[in-house]
Amino acid sequence: MKNLIVRFASLYVFNVVVLLVIGWLTPAKVGLHALWASVILTLATLLLKPMLKKAATSLSAGGTKVVQYLAVFVVEFLIWLLTVWLSGVRAGNVWGWILPPVILLIGWVVYDQIDDALSRKAGELYDAAGAKISGSRRGSASPASSAPSASSTASSPATAAGREELKDGLTPEQRRMLDELG
């Protein structure tokens, strides 16, 4: 859940910036509508884009790179169309329909590069804050009592799975399902 919240917040801010760039570089009229349009764009990116991308890549699986890039452009165009339709953003002329999906595509490539580092850092901060809160609730738990004993350091498969789950709070099944989403 924390990863989804962090991802939504960072993608929202990034989409606001990309929409403002689109309004600056293209005939599309964005302005302050970027705040609401970014909500639509973020939700479409998190929920709709994985499904559309999967359908488009399955259609273009046997095709050339040009066909695959065209399929990705179609996905970006559909998301742009949805954003224009549900917000106050206006595309203007034909370039206001063609250029924004290209800028969105470039922006999301950049976002993917920084998303992992940002999520990792936010997860560390979230975990540190959670440890401080739970540590203050326990009261005077001594550091010696929380240190693992020599017999507990042996790694069984169950122990390894438990430690892996503690890293992000997901079970292996949940992690697999999340990976399939996007």
Return the pLDDT at 155: 61
Return the pLDDT at 1: 64
* Domain assignment of residue 13, yes or no: yes
Cβ burial, residue 96 (10 Å; 0-12/13-18/19+): buried
Number of domains composing the chain? 1
* Domain assignment of residue 135, yes or no: no
42: number of Cβ within 10 Å: 21
* Domain assignment of residue 102, yes or no: yes
Which residue stretches of the chain have pLDDT < 50?
140-147, 149-152
Selection from 14, 45, 19 nearest residue 32 by Cα: 19
Residues 6+ apart with CB under 8 A from 102: 73, 76
* Domain assignment of residue 145, yes or no: no
Return the pLDDT at 176: 78
Return the pLDDT at 123: 76
* Domain assignment of residue 62, yes or no: yes
Return the pLDDT at 142: 46
Return the pLDDT at 166: 64
* Domain assignment of residue 144, yes or no: no
Cα–Cα distance, 97 to 91 (Å, whole number): 6
Quote the domain boundaries for residue 80. Answer: 2-119
Return the pLDDT at 170: 72
Token pair of 20 as six digits: 């403002």
* Domain assignment of residue 149, yes or no: no
